[in-house]
């Protein structure tokens, strides 16, 4: 029976009412979802997190050299969040995020070339340089942007999930010609978006129609310079926000990627199976300022250092290099990763990011005669431009 009708779903199955719950507990010898994954998957996570870190460090340099213009928000510190949540998805589950979006794009599989050239405003960028840092878009990887208006992406994520459910329950086939299937959409938002009307309208509809979207609050504690406790009610237990809409809510610690995945994957599976929404307060931290211009008067250096001491990349690297870990024991005492292989991964990543920079430098600027009016939602100059209502641009070969 179709569930695309207003429902009174009041239960929140699997809801954990303990506000202290942070997903890091490991009971006895029982295996967590992350423990069941092959070693190679964890090594890939390490590589992907390191890729984001390196990419962002090189982005900061390029910005300081004025090669990148406009706003630019870096993801350093939050890498485990994008990599760990995306790892829990199918490749064709749609996602949408805010302006701090380079990490999601790379974790989803966008090349460093397409991502860096976008920031350089070049033709080879994922949006042919029209979007820049805040508007990474990659249709083949089901990334529907990078959005600059705080909270504005949350109804879009809800719509993407609604569309998938509509294909499944009403049309019986996918609009792109493939089979309809049970999907889950992720709508990432910052803690600063929690009080935007758009989010609450979207959550109301998601609860009402049981739409399979997960609202992921990337809770890094600050909205620009405003600490979450100063701007948002119930900051100590944001799941209360979801209760009003009959939506399942969770709190997940986002610093240890294995814990994160182990908590998040069952939630995704539940949302997919039940075709129902969820809301996650996912705790994370950004090491750098809000954007490239932020004197950071609102927090202490000690606070930043405390989080750096729990760094997700260092943590996973040492877990994988630990000769005493369960994985190493299962492998005759040989750690999953040697120092040498970690160095090789770092070198490979540095080379990939260097190639991205080189590509961005050499990519031509977009040709206004081809690009000004193509791939624009609605041509605002239809009477003035010979190009007509809607013009499809050439496909970007990098995507
Ligand atoms: C509707 C709207 N209001 C204000 C802004 C200006 N603004 C840009 S980012 C930001 C802070 C958002 O913080 P948060 O959602 O916590 O995301 P974070 O930067 O921490 O990733 C604000 C207020 C905006 N872009 N859109
Ligand atoms: Mg924030």
| Torsion angle in degrees (nearest 10) through CA of 116, 140, 80, 61 | 0
Interval 351-389: pLDDT, tens: 999 999 999 999 999 999 888 878 876 666 666 666 667
Q: Please tell me the predicted confidence (pLDDT) of residue 382.
A: 65
Does residue 71 register a pLDDT over 70? yes
In angstroms, what is the span from residue 151 Cα to ligand 1's centroid? 8
In angstroms, what is the span from residue 247 Cα to ligand 2's centroid? 22
Question: Residues lining ligand 1, CB < 6 A?
Answer: 73, 100, 148-150, 190-193, 218, 220, 222-224, 290
Does 48 map to a domain? yes
Nearest CA-CA partner of 111 in 358, 367, 321, 390: 358
**What is the SS3 assignment for 223?**
strand
In angstroms, what is the span from residue 235 Cα to ligand 2's centroid? 12
**Strands (DSSP E) found in the chain:** 95-96, 185-190, 213-219, 222-223, 226-227, 248-253, 278-283
Does residue 3 register a pLDDT over 60? no
For ligand 1, atom 5, which residue shows the shortest CA distance? 150
Structure confidence at residue 5 as a pLDDT band (50, 70, 90)? low
Cα 353 from Cα 116, distance rounded (Å):
9
Q: Please tell me the predicted confidence (pLDDT) of residue 390.
A: 74
Q: Diameter of the chain by CA atoms? A: 73
Q: Please tell me the predicted confidence (pLDDT) of residue 9.
A: 37
Does 2 map to a domain? no
Does residue 289 register a pLDDT over 80? yes
Give the range of the structural domain holding residue 235, as residue numbers without chain letter.
Answer: 39-290+350-361
Interval 24-70: pLDDT, tens: 444 456 899 999 999 999 999 999 999 999 999 999 999 999 999 99
Percent of the chain with pLDDT over 70: 90
CB-based contact 82:105 (threshold 8 Å): no
Does 379 map to a domain? no
Structure confidence at residue 392 as a pLDDT band (50, 70, 90)? confident
- 250 forms beta bridges with 280
Interval 73-129: pLDDT, tens: 999 999 999 999 999 999 999 999 999 999 999 999 999 999 999 999 999 999 999
> What CATH code is carried by the domain that includes residue 196?
3.40.50.970
Q: Please tell me the predicted confidence (pLDDT) of residue 300.
A: 96
Does residue 228 register a pLDDT over 50? yes
Percent of the chain with pLDDT over 90: 82
Interval 117-156: pLDDT, tens: 999 999 999 999 999 999 999 999 999 999 999 999 999 9
In the block, residue with structure tokens 């299937």: 181
In angstroms, what is the span from residue 290 Cα to ligand 2's centroid? 8
User: For residue 99, which ligand has an atom nearest its CA?
Assistant: 1
Does 61 map to a domain? yes
Cα 171 from Cα 93, distance rounded (Å):
18
In angstroms, what is the span from residue 217 Cα to ligand 2's centroid? 9
Ligand 1: which atom is nearest the Cα of residue 286? 20
In angstroms, what is the span from residue 178 Cα to ligand 2's centroid? 37
Does 160 map to a domain? yes
Q: Please tell me the predicted confidence (pLDDT) of residue 50.
A: 98
Does 378 map to a domain? no
Q: Compute φ and ψ for 189, nearest 5 degrees.
A: -145, 155
Structural domain count, the chain = 1
- Between residues 23 and 71, which one has the greater pLDDT? 71
Does residue 12 register a pLDDT over 50? no
CB-based contact 122:116 (threshold 8 Å): no
Does residue 220 register a pLDDT over 80? yes
Choice from 224, 225, 298 to test ligand 1 binding pocket (greatest atom count within 8 A of CB): 224
Ligand 1: which atom is nearest the Cα of residue 291? 19
User: For residue 98, which ligand has an atom nearest its CA?
Assistant: 1
Nearest CA-CA partner of 78 in 361, 365, 331, 287: 287
For ligand 1, atom 21, which residue shows the shortest CA distance? 190
Q: For the chain, give the mean pLDDT.
A: 91
Does 375 map to a domain? no
**What is the SS3 assignment for 248?**
strand
**What is the SS3 assignment for 186?**
strand
Which residues have a Cβ under 8 Å from the Cβ of 296 and sit 6 or more positions away?
225, 289
| Average pLDDT score over residue span 154-180 | 94
In angstroms, what is the span from residue 396 Cα to ligand 2's centroid? 32
Q: Please tell me the predicted confidence (pLDDT) of residue 61.
A: 98
Q: Please tell me the predicted confidence (pLDDT) of residue 25.
A: 41
Choice from 154, 192, 221, 291 to test ligand 1 binding pocket (greatest atom count within 8 A of CB): 192
In the block, residue with structure tokens 């250092």: 305
| Average pLDDT score over residue span 270-295 | 96
Cα 26 from Cα 164, distance rounded (Å):
35
Does 296 map to a domain? no
Ligand 1: which atom is nearest the Cα of residue 152? 1
Choice from 72, 79, 150 to test ligand 1 binding pocket (greatest atom count within 8 A of CB): 150
């Amino acid at each position: 029976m179709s569930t695309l009708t207003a429902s009174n779903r009041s239960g929140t199955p699997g809801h954990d009412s303990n506000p202290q719950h942070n997903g890091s507990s490991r009971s006895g010898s029982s295996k967590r979802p992350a423990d069941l994954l092959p070693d190679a998957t964890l090594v890939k996570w390490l590589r992907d997190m390191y890729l984001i870190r390196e990419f962002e460090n090189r982005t900061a340099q390029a910005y300081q050299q004025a090669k990148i213009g406009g706003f630019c928000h870096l993801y350093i510190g939050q890498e485990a969040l994008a990599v760990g949540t995306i790892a829990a998805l199918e490749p064709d589950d749609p996602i949408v995020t805010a302006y701090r979006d380079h990490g999601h794009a790379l974790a989803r599989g966008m090349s460093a070339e397409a991502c860096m050239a976008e920031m350089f405003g070049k033709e080879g960028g994922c949006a042919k340089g029209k979007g820049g840092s805040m508007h990474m878009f990659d249709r083949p990887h089901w990334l529907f942007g990078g959005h600059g208006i705080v909270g504005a992406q949350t109804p879009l994520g809800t719509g993407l999930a609604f569309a998938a459910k509509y294909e499944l329950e009403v049309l019986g086939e996918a609009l792109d010609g493939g089979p309809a299937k049970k999907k889950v959409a992720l709508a990432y938002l910052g803690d600063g978006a929690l009080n935007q009307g758009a989010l609450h309208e979207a959550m109301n509809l998601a609860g009402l129609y049981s739409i399979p979207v997960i609202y992921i609050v990337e809770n890094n504690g600050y909205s620009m310079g405003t600490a979450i406790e100063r701007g948002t009610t119930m900051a100590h237990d944001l799941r209360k926000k979801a209760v009003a809409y009959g939506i399942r809510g969770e709190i997940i610690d986002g610093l240890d990627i294995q814990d994160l995945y182990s908590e998040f994957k069952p939630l995704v599976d539940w949302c997919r199976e039940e075709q129902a929404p969820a809301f996650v307060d996912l705790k994370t931290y950004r090491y750098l300022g809000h954007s490239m211009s932020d004197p950071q008067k609102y927090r202490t250096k000690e606070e930043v250092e405390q989080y750096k001491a729990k760094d997700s990349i260092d943590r996973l690297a040492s877990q994988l290099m630990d000769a005493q870990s369960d994985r190493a024991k299962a492998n005759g005492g040989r750690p999953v990763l040697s120092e040498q292989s970690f160095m090789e991964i770092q070198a490979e990543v540095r080379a990939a990011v260097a190639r991205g920079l080189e590509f961005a430098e050499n990519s031509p600027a977009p040709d206004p005669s081809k690009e000004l009016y193509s791939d624009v939602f609605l041509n605002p100059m239809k009477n003035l431009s010979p190009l007509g209502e809607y013009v499809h641009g050439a496909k970007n070969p990098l995507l």
